[in-house]
Structure 1
Amino acid sequence: MRNTQFSVFFAIFLFIVVGFFFPGCASIQTPTGGPRDSVAPTVLKETPANFTTNFRAEEINIQLDEYFKISNESKEFSVSPAMDKNPFFKVRKKVLNIQLQDTLAPNTTYTINFGRGLVDYNEGNVLKNYMYVFSTGDKIDSLTITGTVTNTLSKKPVLDATVFIIPISQDSIFGKRRANIFTTTDSSGNFSLKYLRPDTYRVYALKEEGGDRVYNSPNEEIAFLSAPLVFTKDTTGIKLELFRQEAGRFRIVDRKIEKDGKIVYMFNQKLSKPGIRILHPQELNESKIVEFSRTNDTLSMWTEKMDFDSIQVAILNEGKDIDTSVIRRSKRDEYNRELKISDNTPSSRIKPGTDLVLTFSAPVGDKIDPSKVTFLQDSVSVGGLRIFRDTSSTRKYVFKYPWKIDRSYILKLDENAFTGRFGGSNKPFEKVFSRDEELNYGNLALNVSVPDTSRQYIVQLLNERDELLRENPISKNTVIQYNMYSVGKYRFRVIYDSNRNGQWDTGDVYLKKQPENVWNANVEITLRANWELEEKLAIPPET
């Protein structure tokens, strides 16, 4: 018994001693994976060496410092000048083996551009813009083009835009095949194209969707130099401004019947004077109700009946038919024409000088059931509330009252208080709100001077989220009054409205037409509570 107790005590003592002197051995911990690898692979050795002249090898081996893989070889890898037979690329552990399949031209500098196609095996970190350069002659072409890419409206630098050049003799490939000479921009919008030969080039930048280096979608942004670049020496300071071009040919990009019976058509263009005519069932054409988006590229339509098998329409612009469309529906499809309600007070406060506006999800009839409308001030029913239709829309009603500060208001709508023009009604609705105070708003008088009174300019007001709040076309020195704007930061953008049509016109890469020029004032206005602010804005001459 004593030996057993001694053994137990000795084992405990030994465990304590080991834990004291070797604390790492006394606790069992789950191993961690460590920080995520965020470092791109590095090139250790190139055979033959990069920038080799009098190149005669049939293969190239590039050794990296870690295991890697090829990503999107067909899109990312390119050889300039192009070869009839593309090289064969193969990964052998940490080595990229390149086997040349074509006969090389004499006295020519070749650049193998890997784009974003070499990535480490586990995390996908990119060895970005790596190039292997060699010459079959006794010298390497060494000319360089550098510059910046920005957004044409915001003037902010664009990251990962693709900049490429095409010899003018091959410019017919634009929009059809990817260019061989390209690079991408850094976070400051800077780019550098290196190891180029003298030639005359077209210069482009592209912010794309598909990653194929081909401008082939109206949703992609494009930039270009208007004139060809006669390239005989290093060229710096190239400025490319990306814009989204209007689609050349009108197309309906989406069409649908929503569950509440609203019929929607979306276009790839902003129409100048859009319209729609129902071709079948033709009897629905006269009673239809139509609304267009602010940019005239989306159409919403409501019809008296929804029992058709299909509806065929003609889309019009400037009174002329430009397209037709058919939507087919199943007889089992059912539509709930309930009137859903939204309002103009997201913060539950009415801006001084305005009224409560309710927007319904579909056109509303002229008759309101007053017995189903309750209006309370400080929980007490009061009279004097006036309700009338907003003339700008069949879906809006205005609730007008002499709103007072420090009062709480409640608007209640019982079910069926409002009835839809083509059926349906509202569900019970309640809104609790109050009138905001003037001291939460500021006023600004902007004294604008123009450089040329024969030209037209559009002064745009933007908030700190770059959302357009207001625009004013002017052609002479003017004071623009901005009254009762929420406290916050604002800035101004000016469009040089060359054709005086009151809007910014984008460019056309095929016609070599640049967008209308834009100037962003580098002045940020801070409106403070209950302030009257005056500011000057001198528009510079167009450059």
Structure 2
Amino acid sequence: MGGPKDEEPPKLLSISPENESLNVKPTVIELLFDEYIKVENPNKGIIITPRIKKDEMEVTALKNKVTIKLNQELEDSTTYVFNFQKTIQDITESNAPENLKLVFSTGDEIDSLTFSGNVAYTFPQREKKMKDVLVGLYTVEDTTNVLTAPPYYIGAADTTGNFKLTNIKAGQYVAYAWHDDNNSLKAEEKSEHYSFLGDTITIDRDISGVQFYLDKSNLGEFRIARASSIGSNFDIVLSKIPVDIEIEAPELNEKLFYRLSDRTLKFYHTALINDSLEVRLNLKDSVGFKIDTTLYAKFEESERRKETLETTIEGPRNFIDKLRAEFKFNKPVNEINFDSLLIKYDTASVIPVRKEWVFQKDSTKRTRLVLEWTVPDTLDFQNYIVYAGDSTFIDIENQFNKDKVEASYRRLKKETLAEEINVTVNTDERPLLVQLITKKDEIVAEKYLEETNIAEFRDIEAATYLIRAIVDTNRNRRWDTSNLYENRQAERVYYLMNPNDNNNKDTVIRGGWTLDVVIQPTKPIGLNKLPELPEEEKKALEAQINQHYEELMDKFLNKPM
């Protein structure tokens, strides 16, 4: 039988150079421990500031000694910090020393300034604890940024998002935070969350209370990657997905139609063969980059097999009095066979869908149809099925849907609903977009506030929700991300917090409830700012200072020589 589990971390016996040494320029760093040790992923785990070329560094463990060969020249008059985190561990149970750090200076003093604060995500993440989140400072003279190169000073946020960069030299810096999923020590703009402080920061004292909010912002070029005829259609492939689309062309929505699928705009023409027409595009991506151009779309005769029409039904499946089903198609739809579009209930009963119940969600695309049906008071059933048989829909290439599609819906009883939810957003900012969101990230209700800061919701299904308010600065009725190149921050998002748990944004809503809640604004991105004094207090303080100055000058001038 073995003895008790070893839970004691290795103890540092000696380190060379010694901690807080001055006027040293080591080429090798050695650490000696009281037991055999190993190193785990040192190039990722050891955080070194200011930055050095870590790929040239060699780290080895032999018995109870760790040796670091730097293989590079260090800067003059610079304080270096080696934060070993959990890189060094005992060889048996992988215990790591707590807060193991080496500080030394190549000059005659240790830089001691600090930069600290918190990093949070704009939108809640599935993983509650922070992981692989870094904060970095770039010197103001540096021509790189968080998207192009590692920073001069770097530190890691803990699992709650708090961070502290130490031993900083006085100077001017630009600050960033990012989720470094691939250990590149910089942000990947297409896949990783990041944040920036727009203004240059002068660090001549300890800076605390800094706030970052992480979100994704793809600043890659927005362009047309390819435009060509594909079969009898015309495809425009973009470098990124557009969020705003404006198209001008002859016979648009009459004979010319289009659809967006991921990054591809596909155009269809019902009459044109072996000819082309002028199409003007005005597109915008998520960061505000634009494509404004005119091109010629050519439609050629082709024997290529037409794409099959595919149909799905989306949207919430519970309703109160009005059933709403949204049909989504992979191609623009031109006709509906209402004979096979039905609402079923009570096992064998059916209601034929009428034309006036169906409308195009976006007449310029024709890829979404909405069915809205108000249940008559004479029907006292809870469960319904929206049914579309095969060949119900015909697209603009005369292709039918080959498979039936159906979806079940449940009518909610009034007594199971929350009667009223009043959400007050404690801010003067306008307009506000207040939303109720399910755990599956579905928006079940929203209000757009331009004059007031109170949103009223009625007859809400009992469930657990996130309740948030978006400050819609540009009034486009959606949240917009940041743009580093334009020094524009993302629109602010405030969540209703659980009063019993600051890390919990879930709000439980039960049937029969009337709820009054208040969303408090979160701390703004950037540095702590001193509160602005009212004008009268400013004047009074200025008068006191002037009076005190006059008294001092009077004493000085009247002092006997």
In the alignment, which of 353, 357, 367 is matched to residue 322 of structure 2?
A: 353
User: Per-residue deviation at 1:418?
Assistant: 3.6
Please give the TM-score of this superposition, normalised by the length of structure 2.
0.69
2:163 aligned partner: 191
Asked whether the 8 Å contact 2:39–2:61 carries over to 1, the reply is no
Asked whether the 8 Å contact 2:229–2:299 carries over to 1, the reply is no
Separation in 2 of the partners of 1:88 and 1:45? 21
Separation in 1 of the partners of 2:333 and 2:95? 56
User: Per-residue deviation at 1:150?
Assistant: 1.1
Asked whether the 8 Å contact 1:55–1:137 carries over to 2, the reply is yes
Separation in 2 of the partners of 1:374 and 1:505? 39
Change (3 A) 1:177 1:527: closer
Asked whether the 8 Å contact 1:450–1:538 carries over to 2, the reply is yes
Question: Pairwise CA RMSD of aligned residues?
Answer: 5.2
Bigger shift: residues 176-185 or 400-409: 400-409
Separation in 1 of the partners of 2:403 and 2:37? 63
Separation in 2 of the partners of 1:495 and 1:476? 15
2:308 aligned partner: 337
1:268 aligned partner: 240
Cα deviation 1:445-482 (Å, max 9, x = unaligned): 526477548x4333333335555444433232365442
Identity across aligned pairs (percent)?
21
Q: Which amino acid is 1:151 matched to?
A: Y
Please give the secondary structure, in 2, of the residue aligned with 1:317. Answer: strand
Asked whether the 8 Å contact 1:357–1:397 carries over to 2, the reply is yes
Change (3 A) 1:206 1:276: farther
| Structure-to-structure mapping, 1:321-470, within 5 angstroms | 321-322=292-293, 334-342=305-313, 344=315, 346=317, 350-368=319-337, 370=339, 372=340, 377-381=345-349, 385-387=353-355, 388-393=357-362, 394=366, 395-396=368-369, 398=371, 400=373, 402=375, 404-406=379-381, 409=384, 413-422=388-397, 423-429=399-405, 435-446=411-422, 448=424, 452=428, 455-464=430-439, 467-470=442-445
User: Per-residue deviation at 1:61?
Assistant: 1.5
Asked whether the 8 Å contact 2:235–2:266 carries over to 1, the reply is yes
In the alignment, which of 210, 214, 226 is matched to residue 242 of structure 1?
A: 214
User: Per-residue deviation at 1:89?
Assistant: 1.6
Separation in 2 of the partners of 1:538 and 1:239? 19
Asked whether the 8 Å contact 2:51–2:151 carries over to 1, the reply is no
Q: Which amino acid is 2:354 matched to?
A: R
Cα deviation 1:357-389 (Å, max 9, x = unaligned): 54444433424162x567654344556653553
Could you list the runs of 5+ residues in structure 2 that have no partner in the other structure?
A: 285-289, 499-505, 525-561
Please give the secondary structure, in 2, of the residue aligned with 1:219. Answer: coil
Change (3 A) 1:284 1:240: closer
Asked whether the 8 Å contact 2:78–2:107 carries over to 1, the reply is yes
Asked whether the 8 Å contact 1:144–1:195 carries over to 2, the reply is yes
Change (3 A) 1:71 1:421: same
Matched, 1:217 2:189: yes
Separation in 2 of the partners of 1:134 and 1:264? 57
Separation in 1 of the partners of 2:463 and 2:454? 21
1:134 aligned partner: 104
Bigger shift: residues 124-133 or 161-170: 124-133
User: Per-residue deviation at 1:168?
Assistant: 1.9
Cα deviation 1:212-257 (Å, max 9, x = unaligned): 2234524332223333332233332222222333526314689999
Please give the secondary structure, in 1, of the residue aligned with 2:142. Answer: helix
1:96 aligned partner: 66
Change (3 A) 1:462 1:335: same
Separation in 2 of the partners of 1:315 and 1:249? 17
Matched, 1:169 2:141: yes
Change (3 A) 1:398 1:300: farther
User: How many residue pairs are counted as aligned between the two chains?
Assistant: 496
| Structure-to-structure mapping, 1:177-326, within 5 angstroms | 177-245=149-217, 247=219, 249-251=221-223, 268=240, 270-275=242-247, 287-291=255-259, 301=266, 303=268, 315-317=281-283, 321-322=292-293
1:144 aligned partner: 114
Separation in 1 of the partners of 2:95 and 2:297? 48
1:482 aligned partner: 457
Change (3 A) 1:83 1:342: closer
Cα deviation 1:88-117 (Å, max 9, x = unaligned): 424142433233545555654223455786
User: Per-residue deviation at 1:493?
Assistant: 2.5
Separation in 2 of the partners of 1:56 and 1:397? 71
2:484 aligned partner: 509
Change (3 A) 1:45 1:360: same
